Structure formats: structure tokens, C-alpha cells
Amino acid sequence: MTFLQKKFESSPEFVRLVPFGIFLVLTYCQSLEFLGKMAPYWFYLIKTLVGAWFIWEMRPFVAEMRWAISWEAIVVGVAVCVLWVGINDFYPKFSKAGDPSNPHLVFGLNSGVAWFFALVHLLGSTFVVPPLEEVFYRSFVYRYLVKIDFLSVPLNRFHAMSFVVTAIIFGVVHYEWLAGILCGIAFQWLVIRKNRLGDAMTAHAITNFLLGLWVIWKGDWKFW
């Protein structure tokens, strides 16, 4: 067993916090304009690979990180995507560093490299982001705000203060903060209703996948 695996096994906080924290650091690096216009795309590739590796390493130590499919997850996933796009023009956003993430403006219109990075973003947001974010927000933050011994808190426990605070935190880390808050409410409701994390992971993946298809189909790169 490696040092990291030992830390994951010995600390339920570490295994839920550190992978997400490193993922956030790499996300921040995407906004460092002095690194050049190509850097955000390379950092997205790096963080996707690193995130996928972390998910693989975390699996034995985070029992709730298991995909699950239900009709509720599908409905919520589709509805959140529609909401995310639909309300976008009706509220002010936080500032967003740099230009919209259109790889065709950086690597050439319809170039193979541009489509490669678009695919990386689509796959990363669909399969890597949901497990990491749901484990951090819905499994750790929500329950930790209820009780420091968070593993003793059932996933279906409703706690009003924690419900609201977790949704707000989830929302304000997104450029589209209002959509993020509503999204956080929907995903947390799923976890509580189903008493498992997997449905929220699936709904999150569906939302991000459909949003990615919208971005690519419509050229609406502001959502990335």
C-alpha cells in the first residue's frame, strides 16, 4: 500500500478533501493569463488526468462514491441543464477571467487539436468532475456541517442549515452562481431522497454532458 493509500485509509477527511483541493488548484492555474492562451487547455487536460487517477485511488476508501441510475437522477440531470442555460441571461454573473473557452480561437478553426481539447473538456466534466465534487460537497461538507463525526450522519439526513449553506458554497464557486445554487439544491435533494450519492453523481454527469453538447453544438463557449 502506497503512502497516499495509507492516508486515504486512515483519514476519511483527507480522502475527501485533498483530491478535490488539488483539483481546485489546477483549476485556478487555468486562469493564470501570464502562462499564455494555450495553458488553460493543457491544465484542463492535466487536471482531468490527475482527477481520474485520484478517483481510481479513492474508490476503495469512499464507499458512497458509486454511480447509480434512477429516473429521478435522469430528470434532475436534464432539468438542471435546461435551467442552467435558460436563466443565464436573467441575472448578473461573477467576473470570469479570460475569454470563453473556445479552443478553435487558439488552435485553429476545426483543427484536430481544437476538437481534441473540446473532447477532453466534455469527458472531464462528465466523468471526473461529478465524483470529485459530489464526494466533497454532498458527502463531506453537507454532513460535516451537521456533525464533525460526519460518517455517522446518514446521507438521507435533512438538516436545513447545512442544506442551504452547502448549496450556497457550491453556487458561489461557479461563474453562474444562481444556477449553481439551484443545481446544488437539486443534487442534495437527490442524495437525501435516495440515501446514496450515486444518483447525484449521475445527474451531475448528465447535466455536464448535455451542457457540453450545447456548448459544442451552438458554439456557446461562455458555459465553459
Mean pLDDT of 15-29: 97
Q: Which domain holds residue 105?
A: 66-223
Q: Is 96 part of any domain? A: yes
Which residue do the cell numbers 453538447 mark? 213
48 within a domain of the structure (yes/no): no
What's the pLDDT band for 53 if we cut at 50, 70, 90?
A: very high
pLDDT tens digits, 106-162: 999 999 999 999 999 999 999 999 999 999 999 999 999 999 999 999 999 999 999
- The strand ranges marked E within 12-108 are none
Give per-residue burial for 34-60: e unless 16+ CB within 10 Å, then b. eeeeebbbebbeebbebbbebbebbee
Q: 149 φ, ψ to 5°?
A: -80, 70
The answer to the question of residue 89 being in a domain is yes
What's the chain's length in residues?
Answer: 224
What is the tally of structural domains in the chain? 1
Q: What is the DSSP letter of 37?
A: S
Residue 197 lies in a domain: yes
Residue 96 has pLDDT above 70, yes or no: no
Q: Supply the pLDDT for residue 1.
A: 77
Residue 99 is predicted with a pLDDT of 56
Q: Could you read off the pLDDT of 160-188 as tens digits, one per residue?
A: 999 999 999 999 999 999 999 999 999 99
Q: Could you tell me if residue 108 is inside a domain?
A: yes
SS3 39: helix
Residue 71 pLDDT > 90: yes
- Set of cell numbers at residue 213: 453538447
Percent pLDDT > 90 in the chain is: 94
